[in-house]
Each structure stands twice: as C-alpha cells, then as structure tokens.
C-alpha cells in the first residue's frame, strides 16, 4: 500500500508539472500612447500599474550613461574593466568575461541594440561602483524625470523583487531620451553595430523594418513581464511614442504596437506645438552605501566639461605654451613693437589664468575605476565628451582590447537552463493578430466599408504633394493603377492578414507600393493587394506562383 501511494504521489507530481504551462497566467497587459511633441496622452490602459519592465530598464541605464558622458564623468572611449557581477549575468549577452577590458562605446551598443545583460551591468558597475549604488542612482533619476511608479534594483531588468515600472513611466523615459540626448537617439534605430568583440543585431529590427516611420526604441522580455516594447515613429510632422507591457509573443506585441501607433497618428494633430520636457540635473550617489547624497538642479546651460582632477585642461596647456613662448623670446633684442606684443600676451595670459580660477565649468568627481588612465587618454576622453554630436559611428581605431578566452566553456553553455531575456522567436512572423482588435483600434476600420480592414500600419509612404511630378514622355500600356493581386479566400481575417504580411516580405520589390486589404466575403475573408499597375500585378503574381503560392491578377 505504501509503495502504491508513493507511485501515486509521483504520478500526481508529474501530472501537475505537465499542466503548469497550461494554467499559468499571462503577464498583465498595459499600454500608453503619447504625442511625442506635446506630451499629450492619446490613449492609456493600466498605464500606472506597476509591472516588470524587463529590458526596458536598459533605457534608464543608457540615459544615465549619456548624462555621465555629457558631465565629463566618463567618455565613450574610456576603458571599462568587466566586473565579476557583469560577467555572471545570464543571456541575452555580449559574451563578457571577468577582468576583460572594453571601451564604453561598445558596451553602449551591446546594451541598446542587442539588449546585452552583461553589457548593461558592466556599465552600471563601472560608473556607479556597484549594483546597489547604480540601482539607487537609477531610481533617483527616475524620480527627477517624473517617473512616480518606478523602482530599480539592477541595470538590465532581469526579474528581481521590487524592480518595477509602468507603461506611463517608460513612455516618459523614452521621450526624455529623444529630447535630452538627440545626438545619441539614432542608436535605437540601428539594425546592427560593431560591439568590439562581435557584431550585434537589434532585437527590434523586425518591427523597425516593417512599420512605416519607426525609429526606436527598446524591446524587453522575461517570463514575468511578457513581451514589452517602447516604440517611436514619425510620419510627416507627427511623432508618436507608445509603450506596451505584457505581450504574449513578439509577433502579437508588434501587431498591437502597430495598432496603437496607428491610433496615435489618427488622433494626434498634424501641427502641434513642441513642448520639450525639462532635463533633470545629474544625480549623484554614495558608491559605498548606495544612498543618494545630492540631486543637482536642472541644467540651464551646457558648458564644456573639464577633464578629471589631476590632469591639465586644454586651456591650461594653451596658457603654458603662451608662457613658454614669452619666456623664450630674447627681450633685450626685441623691438618696441615686439615688446608691446609680449606685454599684451602676458596680460592676456594672466586674464586667462584668472578666468580659469572662476570658470563655471563642472569638474567630474574622481572615479577609482578610471584613475589609472594616462594623461593622453584623458585628453581623448575630454574631446569625446565635448563633441557636439556623437553618432556612435566614428571610432578612432579598430582595436580589440581583450580577447575572449575561447579555451573556456562556450558562453552559451555556461548559462544553459537559465532564463533568456529578449525576443525569443526571431524566426517567427513579424506581426500576428492573436486577439480581436481592442475597441480603441476600431478607428482603423474603413469608414465607408465596415467589412474591410486596411492595414494602415504597413502602408508605404504617400507621395509628397509639394514635390514636382516627373512627366514621362511615352504612353503607358499598364492600364493605370487599377489592378491588383488576390491571394484568394481564407478561413479567418487573421489568416488573410498573415498571408498578406508573409507575401509582402517575400516580394517586397513588386508588392512594396501596393495597398493591403482584407475584405469580408460570404465564404470567408479575401486577401488582396490593390493599387497596382497591370505590369506590376502580373509580375508579382508570377513570382508568387514560382514560390507555389496561389494567386490571381484582378483588373478594373
């Protein structure tokens, strides 16, 4: 009896394990749509609910990093020594090892584009001193930005008790990144980049490639958070930013984001005043205790930052050269004009020294992690920090600072079985409507025919009416743009949309200018491309047929 009971308990345990994925609850859903220009909220649902932000966290890590660069606290070419904490972070990873040396610019690229957890932690440990101090600085900066529902516990967003944010807060953060650091914002639209030890590819490239006007900004995924995304897109004079928490897959999240951005473009005025958010001051923390020690007031001007303490500034070098030139000149043999010039030079030099003594330019706090840099490296750092626009493209030289130890166990094997944070189905569809459209997206329906859905999110850009049209001096036999391609009837609207998206990606050259329409028919849903010339429609259908895809050419 005891033996049977033991086997019964074991069987029940196995059954429960098998059923757990079926009964697990999906991550809570939240969303907010905002006019980037004015900050007006165009739509929201559960926008203030505190949820797991996943890798959206890295937006704050990068925001503070950009602050530190502008303040002269660190530079893009400062060399970071990877901490043991950073090297131990699970995927998604750049592949860093303890003690490895790598430039900050590469860590920024890996964190923003690949969403590398090890890269984000390496940045936080290098600038903040340790994880606790960096998290405190992140939370304090969030408060200065007006993010009322956010508390951070780490630099990368891996699930940790108390590490929470909201759709509203992440949208505010994305807006601040756009306005406070426009010189770095292009980083979030890049599909790939050189990260020093490897080329990294964007976790958001599929949405960036598929949605008209999309130019950022950050994805996120953990099992606790679901599939999250903060995205920005620009069409004409309009710019919309939106955030989604709790997507059920990359494709479903992308489809929902396309709906919400479309809704934003429909509701936002074409001409709206730009109301830039106020940039907060630099937040400093105690690197030992992790406590916030001061919050500087908002910066009203952007003076050039000076070098780290202990190194001569460019002005000091110029003064020294001027003094040396004056002292080297043979005073007894000079003419009166030369003597007068030397006197003027000495006066100017004295004034320059006095000006340096009262210069309002900020001096960076000492950072022990970079105390060993050479004087020449410090000057390079200062020039990088003073650059008016840094696209993160230019590099002084291509140098691999430290090679990865390939004799060790492969990086992926070290974290086998651990949770992977990031888009986990890169081979899946770009978009997938897995649920019925929300009520707020009903505005996407064609007002003249409620049974026809126009995928406005994927429409090609319209012709600019201000540009002069080019007159072609020969007759066309195409019959005008009254032709199209039909993929036939599908069992559901979702299947029709999926067929259109799939074929649009396959034959983007021939179908790129066509409008995708799904029409309700008696026996099902018809997937059509319309607005094509006869030549283009015939060519597109022929190429699709070559791929064993059934289609037909429809005319006027």
Tokens 């074929």 belong to residue:
503
- The residue annotated as part of the active site, out of 83, 115, 249, 307, is 115
Residue 454, Cβ density class (10 Å: 0-12 exposed, 13-18 middle, ≥19 buried): middle
Q: Is the Cβ–Cβ distance between 288 and 57 less than 8 Å?
A: no
Q: Which two tokens stand for residue 101?
A: 């040396």
Long-range contacts made by residues 400-409, C-beta under 8 angstroms, separation at least 24? 400/196, 400/197, 401/79, 401/100, 401/101, 401/102, 401/103, 401/196, 402/99, 402/100, 402/101, 402/102, 403/197, 404/95, 404/97, 404/100, 404/197, 405/97, 408/97
Q: Which two tokens stand for residue 294?
A: 């001061």
3-state secondary structure of 439: helix
Which DSSP string corresponds to 53-90? -GGGGHHHHHHHHHHHHHTTSS-TTPEEEPPHHHHTPP
Any idea how long the chain is? 556
Q: Active-site residue 55, yes or no?
A: yes
- In Å, how far are 97, 268, 403, 411 from 406, measured between CA atoms? 11, 53, 8, 9
What are the two backbone dihedrals, phi and then psi, of residue 31, each rounded to the nearest 5 degrees?
Answer: -155, 155
Residue 424, Cβ density class (10 Å: 0-12 exposed, 13-18 middle, ≥19 buried): middle
**What is the spatial distance between Cα 225 and Cα 220, in angstroms, rounded to a whole number?**
8
Q: Active-site residue 223, yes or no?
A: no
Helix and strand totals (H; E) in the chain: 16, 16
- The residue annotated as part of the active site, out of 55, 83, 121, 202, is 55
Q: Active-site residue 115, yes or no?
A: yes
Q: Is the Cβ–Cβ distance between 210 and 508 less than 8 Å?
A: no
DSSP letter (8 states) at residue 436: P
Closest by CA to 460, choosing from 402, 516, 533, 538, is 516
- The residue annotated as part of the active site, out of 58, 103, 256, 490, is 58
Which positions are annotated as active-site residues?
A: 55, 58, 115
């Amino acid at each position: 009896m005891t033996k049977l009971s033991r086997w019964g308990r074991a069987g029940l345990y196995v059954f429960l394990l098998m059923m757990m994925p079926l009964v697990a609850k999906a991550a809570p859903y939240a969303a907010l749509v905002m006019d980037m220009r004015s900050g007006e909220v165009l739509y929201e649902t559960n926008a203030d609910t505190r949820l797991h932000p996943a890798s959206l966290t890295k937006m704050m890590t990068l925001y503070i990093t950009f602050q530190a660069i502008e303040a002269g606290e660190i530079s893009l070419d400062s060399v970071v020594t990877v901490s043991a904490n950073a090297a131990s972070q699970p995927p998604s990873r750049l592949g860093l090892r303890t003690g490895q040396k790598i430039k900050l610019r590469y860590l920024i690229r890996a964190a923003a584009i690949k969403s590398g957890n090890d890269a984000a932690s390496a940045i936080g440990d290098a600038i903040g001193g340790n994880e606790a101090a960096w998290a405190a600085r992140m939370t304090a900066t969030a408060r200065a930005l007006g993010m009322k529902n956010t508390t951070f516990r780490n630099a990368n967003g891996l699930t940790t008790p108390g590490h929470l944010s909201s759709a509203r807060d992440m949208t505010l953060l994305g807006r601040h990144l756009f306005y406070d650091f426009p010189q770095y914002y292009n980083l979030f639209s890049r599909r790939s980049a050189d990260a020093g030890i490897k080329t990294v590819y964007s976790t958001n490239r599929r949405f960036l490639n598929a949605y008209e006007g999309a130019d950022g900004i950050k994805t996120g995924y953990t099992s606790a958070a679901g599939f999250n995304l903060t995205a920005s897109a620009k069409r004409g004079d309009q710019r919309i930013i939106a955030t989604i928490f709790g997507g059920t897959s990359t494709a479903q999240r992308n489809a929902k984001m396309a709906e919400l951005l479309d809704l934003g473009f429909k509701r936002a005025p074409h001409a709206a005043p730009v109301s830039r958010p106020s940039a907060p001051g630099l937040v400093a923390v105690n690197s030992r205790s992790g406590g916030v020690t001061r919050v500087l007031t908002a910066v009203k001007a952007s003076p050039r930052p000076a070098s780290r303490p202990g190194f001569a500034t460019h002005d000091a070098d110029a003064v020294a050269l001027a003094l040396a030139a004056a002292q080297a000149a043979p005073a007894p043999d000079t003419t009166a004009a030369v003597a007068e010039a030397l006197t003027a030079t000495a006066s100017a030099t004295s004034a320059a020294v006095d000006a340096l003594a009262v210069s309002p330019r900020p001096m960076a706090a000492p950072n022990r992690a970079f105390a060993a840099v050479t004087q020449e490296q410090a000057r390079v750092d200062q020039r990088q920090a003073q650059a008016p626009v840094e696209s993160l493209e230019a590099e002084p030289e291509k140098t691999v600072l430290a090679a990865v130890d390939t004799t060790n166990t492969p990086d992926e094997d070290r974290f086998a079985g651990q949770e992977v944070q990031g888009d986990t189905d890169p081979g899946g569809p770009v978009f997938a409507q897995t649920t019925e459209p929300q009520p707020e997206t009903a505005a996407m329906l064609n007002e003249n025919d409620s049974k026809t859905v126009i995928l406005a999110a994927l429409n090609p850009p319209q012709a600019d009416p201000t540009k002069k049209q080019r007159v072609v001096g020969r007759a066309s036999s195409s019959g005008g743009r009254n032709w199209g391609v039909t993929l036939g009837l599908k069992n559901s609207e979702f299947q029709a949309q999926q067929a259109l998206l799939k074929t649009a990606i396959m034959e983007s050259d021939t179908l790129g200018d066509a409008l995708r329409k799904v029409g309700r028919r008696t026996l099902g849903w018809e997937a059509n491309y319309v607005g094509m010339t006869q030549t283009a429609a015939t060519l597109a259908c022929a190429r699709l047929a070559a791929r064993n895809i059934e289609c037909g050419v429809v005319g006027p």
